[in-house]
Amino acid sequence: MHPIFVYCCYTGLVAQRGTDWFSLAGMTLDTLFQQAEPGEWLAQKLQHARHCPPPVGVLAPIQNQEVWAAGVTYLRSRDARIEESKDAGGGTFYDRVYDADRPEIFFKATPHRVFGTGATLRLRQDSKWNVPEPELALALNVDGKIFGYTVGNDLSSRDIEGENPLYLPQAKVWSHCCGLGPALVVCPPLPPETAITLTILRGGATVFEGATALSQMKRTPLELADWLWRDNSFPAGCYLLTGTGLVPPNAFTLAGGDEVRISIDSLGCLVNHIA
């Protein structure tokens, strides 16, 4: 199946397959997430959809989906969590969860806290150490099946989580705390060599740049999705961020005016401004 890019616009949904653009008038993301086989259903819809020009601006590809996240799925993330929490005595928590059968999975955002490419994310006013976390986001239908992907920015307050692991919800969830986009890409599973890159610009100059690959994840997307769905349900499906393998050095913190660029092979580039 050729990848289908689904964009949310002010006028509705627009899909791209190859060089062709289609209007998905009357269709919603909730309807797509509620299908047993979203990819097949969407491909059939495109057979009867009218062609349209590319969208001028796009929103985050989300309607009523919750956003959840998995942590400590990369070795670099484990090491960063241990470093930031060593003074609080919580370092061993992250060492243990990295090797445990049960992964760390936590709630990240409701739709009104999520913003798309080109939009602004905001830093907590009570935090002094903030970083973006570039992550692959899984699109899961109502049955917990992975049917698509997008680029995610799990903005985090490292000093709050580092002070005490019990502060994790405050370190992760606040207004304008999550970026998703530019599109929901409905496609087969991504190969392990898929690259994730992070670039942070300040005043037009690069202040951090790094790259990793999905092959560096300790856990598989299927494993993480299975754990999320245990004794849980999502009437409109959900997104699951799969953890980060890119963490800026401890001396770095985001500042107002920064620009964060997160790219994932075959999915596109998510650009967020920081306030």
For 76, the 3-state DSSP assignment is helix
What is the residue extent of each domain of the chain?
66-274
Name, in order, each residue with C-beta under 8 angstroms of 44's C-beta and a sequence gap of 6 or more: none
Q: What is the pLDDT of residue 39?
A: 97
CATH 3.40.50.720 is the classification of domain 66-274? no
pLDDT at 265: 98
DSSP labels, 164-226: -GGGHHHHH-STT-EEEEEEEEE-SPPPTT-EEEEEEEETTEEEEEEEEEGGGBSS-HHHHHH
Beta strands in 2-102 (DSSP E): 4-9, 12-17, 20-23, 66-71
Report the pLDDT value the prediction gives residue 98, as an integer from 0 to 100. Answer: 75
pLDDT reported for residue 76: 57
**Whole-angstrom distance, CA of residue 201 vs CA of residue 208:** 7
What CA–CA distance (Å, rounded) separates 187 from 138?
11
35 phi and psi angles, rounded to 5 deg: -80, 145
Report the relative pairing of strands 104-109 and 114-115 from DSSP bridges. unpaired
List per-residue pLDDT tens for the chain, 275 residues long.
689 999 999 999 999 999 999 999 999 999 999 999 999 999 999 999 999 999 999 999 999 999 999 988 776 555 655 565 566 555 566 667 778 889 999 999 999 999 999 999 999 999 999 999 999 999 999 999 999 999 999 999 999 998 988 999 999 999 999 999 999 999 999 999 999 999 999 999 999 999 999 999 999 999 999 999 999 999 999 999 999 999 899 999 999 999 999 999 999 999 999 99
Task: Return the structure tokens found at 229.
Answer: 């769905």
For tokens 């999502």, name the residue: 234
Predicted pLDDT at 81: 56
